């Protein structure tokens, strides 16, 4: 992973490069920000950069043996520490107590889902394990911290720095103090890069001993550009998916994989059919919705709720709109519709009949639109009447 491979964070990268050039890069950094924001790729790019044999001013060379090993997450001086599911029973060879016991899975995760979050990692472990990890929590156990200690005390093999990238120190639990001690008395030429999402779950003493680097969400423009250049989306569709990704490239990709764009188009089509009350087309649409599958239906409601909330804000006049439907309902109407959508999503998780749930929702939405229409007509009538009355 090079700085140039990351979809954004140019200024963060050059800030880090500047402090390296000026010899004032702290030995312990903590990248802090929400998941899917590229903090882990940034940590990997920095580890690659400090160990590159011929770094340029803006990035590592990407070609030297060090860069090539770093790219495959097999560099002997770049160590990763990440939450694991410990397995303490069974044959010795089956037991798992430290991060490297899952190194093959980790390398696959780094290669396939560089912007992945904790849940993605746990899902991968669950899918890879023979009987599934079930709902077991990941953690960074004592054995892992002892292993780090051992590895960081070795001489560097080939690089300039020994780097420890610890992903999600939130999962250290009681082992935080052990890590703290290591950070306070670092072995020679060691760089710690902690990547955290939630500062409240990291030991305050660790926060105070590390240089905190805030890694913000990606801007919608950054995500849209990446979707266009890397995922082949057209400009309009890219902007549309980006608008609902909340600054997470991972989330944008998830919505693509889940047939996100198609599901979102289907929601807007539903709104249109309800507004025009095209019963035959609506019936055909309900047939399709029934066949959509639970995951997509979940995405349908997630997207629908965001759409309704935007309309609500537009109707209140507090947000300038990307949604054109705001005038369909008054703010109270949008609030009620949001409630109805939430309820419908809930009924579906309880295995209610998808078609009936959506038919009911369509009727309620349609009625609300008509009421709004009548109220407006009445108001118009009174206004005209009052105006005439005043004039005559
Ligand atoms: Zn290099």
pLDDT in tens, 163-185: 999 999 999 988 999 999 999 99
Q: Say whether 161 sits in a helix, a strand or coil.
A: coil
Q: Residue 363: give the domain boundaries.
A: 258-378
51 CA to middle of ligand 1, Å?
7
Count Cβ atoms below 10 Å from residue 130 Cβ, excluding itself: 5
Instruction: State in Å, rounded, how far the first CA of the chain is from the last one.
Output: 78
In the reported structure, the alpha carbon of residue 72 is separated from the centroid of ligand 1 by a whole-number distance in angstroms of: 13
Average pLDDT over residues 227-246: 86
| Domain shared by 72 and 185, yes or no | yes
Model confidence at 281, pLDDT cuts 50, 70, 90, reads very high
Residue in 280, 338, 265, 273 with CA at minimum distance from that of residue 308: 338
C-alpha 33 chain-centroid distance: 11
Distance 59 CA to ligand 1 centre (A): 9
How many Cα atoms occupy the beta-carbon half-sphere of 128 within 13 Å? 16
Best-predicted range by mean pLDDT (7-21, 85-99, 116-130, 292-306): 7-21
Task: Determine the average pLDDT of the residues in 259-283.
Answer: 88
Q: How far, in Å, from the CA of 39 to the mean position of ligand 1? A: 21
With respect to residue 106, please indicate whether it lies within any of the assigned structural domains: yes
CA of 382 to the centre of ligand 1 (A): 76
With a CB cutoff of 8 Å and minimum separation 6, the contacts of 237 are 227, 261
Distance from the alpha carbon of residue 197 to the mean position of ligand 1, in angstroms: 29
Edge-to-edge, what's the strand order for the sheet holding 78-81? 78-81, 162-167, 190-196, 28-32, 211-214
Q: What are phi and psi for residue 31, nearest 5 degrees?
A: -80, 125
- Residue 160's contacts (CB-CB under 8 Å, 6 or more residues apart) are 50, 51, 189
Residue 44: CB atoms within 10 Å: 27
Ligand 1 centroid from CA 65, angstroms: 7
Query: How many Å apart are CA 193 and CA 12, to the nearest integer?
Result: 14
| The pLDDT value given to residue 389 | 56
Q: Are residues 25 and 142 in the same domain?
A: yes
Q: How far apart, in whole angstroms, are the C-alpha atoms of residue 95 and residue 115?
A: 28
Centroid of ligand 1 to alpha carbon of 4 (angstroms)? 13
In a domain, 383, yes or no: no
Instruction: Identify the domain boundary among 214, 234, 250.
Output: 214
User: Do residues 118 and 171 share a domain?
Assistant: yes
Same domain, 298 and 193: no
DSSP 53-65: SS--SSS--S-SH
Same domain, 341 and 276: yes
Cα of 71 from ligand 1 centre, angstroms: 10
Question: Which of 9-18, 19-28, 68-77, 374-383 has the lowest average pLDDT?
Answer: 374-383
From the CA of 66, how far away is ligand 1's center (Å)? 6
* Greater model confidence, 40 or 299: 40
C-alpha 250 to ligand 1 mean position (Å)? 27
Quote the ligand 1 centre to 228 CA distance (angstroms).
28
Task: Determine the distance separating the centroid of ligand 1 and the alpha carbon of 90, expressed in angstroms.
Answer: 42
Judgement on whether residues 194 and 269 belong to the same structural domain of the protein: no
* Tens of pLDDT, residues 84-134: 999 887 888 888 999 999 999 999 999 999 999 998 899 898 887 766 656
The confidence band for 373, taking pLDDT boundaries of 50, 70 and 90, is confident
Helix ranges (DSSP H) in 93-141 = 103-112, 118-128
**Weakest-pLDDT range from 32-41, 142-151, 243-252, 360-369:** 243-252
- Residue 391 banded pLDDT, cuts 50, 70, 90: very low
The residue from 214, 244, 271 where one domain ends is 214
Say whether both 143 and 32 belong to one domain: yes
- Neighbouring CB atoms inside 10 A of 286's CB total 18
Which residues are registered as beta bridge partners of 80?
165
Q: Is residue 245 part of a domain?
A: no
Residue 305 and residue 206 in one domain: no
Report the pLDDT averaged over residues 315-344. 84
| In a domain? residue 228 | no
Residue 164 lies in a domain: yes
Q: How far apart are the CA of 73 and the centre of ligand 1, in A?
A: 14
Distance between Cα 232 and ligand 1 center (Å) = 29
The answer to whether residue 224 is domain-embedded is no
User: Is residue 131 domain-resident?
Assistant: yes
For ligand 1, the distance from its centroid to the CA atom of residue 357, given in whole angstroms, is 57
312 & 370 share domain: yes
Compare 116 and 296 and report the one with higher pLDDT. Answer: 116
Residue 392 has pLDDT above 50, yes or no: no
CA of 191 to the centre of ligand 1 (A): 18
Domain shared by 15 and 134, yes or no? yes
Task: Evaluate if residue 341 carries a pLDDT over 50.
Answer: yes
Mean pLDDT of 320-341: 84
The CATH number that applies at residue 306 is 1.20.272
What is the rounded distance in angstroms from the CA atom of residue 315 to the CA atom of residue 342?
20
221, part of any domain: no
For residue 2, the CA-to-ligand 1 centroid distance in Å is 10
Residues 209, 272, single domain; the answer is: no
Mean pLDDT, rounded, of the chain: 89
- Cα 41 to averaged position of ligand 1 atoms, centre (Å): 16
CA of 86 to the centre of ligand 1 (A): 35
Residue 390 has pLDDT above 80, yes or no: no
CA of 155 to the centre of ligand 1 (A): 20
> Could you tell me which of 294, 307, 308, 288 has the C-alpha nearest to residue 346?
294
Number of domains in the chain: 2
The arithmetic mean of pLDDT across residues 69-89, rounded, is 94
- How many Cα neighbours within 13 Å face the side chain of 53? 9
Q: Do 176 and 121 fall into the same domain?
A: yes
Q: What values do phi and psi take at 190, rounded to 5?
A: -120, 135
In the predicted structure, residue 246 carries a pLDDT above the cut 90: no
Task: For residue 149, give the CATH number of its domain.
Answer: 3.40.50.300
Distance 63 CA to ligand 1 centre (A): 5
Query: Of 214, 245, 270, which residue is a domain's last?
Result: 214
265 Cα to the center of ligand 1, angstroms: 45
For ligand 1, the distance from its centroid to the CA atom of residue 77, given in whole angstroms, is 14
């Amino acid at each position: 992973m090079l700085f140039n491979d990351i979809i954004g964070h140019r200024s963060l990268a050059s800030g880090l490069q500047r402090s390296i050039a000026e010899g004032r890069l702290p030995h312990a950094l903590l990248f802090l920000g929400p998941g899917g924001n590229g903090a882990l790729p940034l940590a990997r790019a920095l580890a690659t950069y400090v160990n590159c044999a011929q770094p340029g001013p803006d990035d590592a060379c990407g070609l030297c043996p060090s860069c090539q090993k770093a790219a495959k997450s097999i560099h002997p001086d770049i160590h990763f520490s990440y939450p694991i599911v410990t397995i303490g029973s069974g044959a010795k060879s089956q037991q798992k107590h430290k991060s490297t016991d899952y190194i093959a899975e980790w390398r696959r995760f780094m290669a396939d889902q560089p912007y992945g979050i904790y849940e993605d990692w746990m899902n991968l472990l669950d899918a890879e394990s023979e009987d599934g990890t079930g709902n077991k929590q990941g953690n960074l156990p004592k054995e892992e911290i002892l292993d780090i200690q051992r590895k960081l005390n070795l001489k560097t093999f080939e690089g300039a720095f020994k780097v420890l990238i610890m992903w999600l120190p939130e999962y250290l639990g009681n082992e935080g103090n052990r890590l703290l001690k290591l950070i306070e008395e670092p072995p020679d030429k060691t760089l710690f890069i902690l990547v955290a999402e939630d500062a409240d779950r990291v030991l305050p003493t660790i926060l105070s001993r590390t240089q905190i680097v805030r890694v913000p969400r990606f801007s919608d423009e950054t995500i849209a550009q990446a979707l266009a250049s890397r995922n082949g989306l057209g400009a309009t569709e890219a902007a549309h998916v980006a608008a609902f990704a909340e600054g997470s490239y991972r989330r944008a990709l998830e919505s693509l994989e889940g047939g996100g764009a198609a599901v979102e188009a289907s929601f807007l089509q539903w709104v249109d059919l309800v507004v025009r009350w095209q019963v035959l087309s609506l019936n055909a649409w309900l047939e399709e919705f029934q066949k959509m599958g639970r995951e997509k239906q979940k995405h349908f409601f997630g997207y629908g709720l965001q759409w309704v909330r935007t309309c609500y804000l537009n109707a209140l006049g507090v947000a300038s709109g990307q949604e054109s439907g705001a005038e369909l309902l008054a703010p109270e109407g949008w609030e009620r519709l949001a409630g109805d959508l939430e309820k419908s999503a809930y009924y579906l998780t309880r295995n209610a009949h998808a078609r009936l749930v959506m038919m009911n929702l369509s009727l309620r939405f349609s009625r609300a639109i008509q009421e709004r229409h009548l109220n407006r007509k009445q108001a118009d009538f009174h206004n005209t009447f009052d105006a005439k009355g005043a004039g005559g």
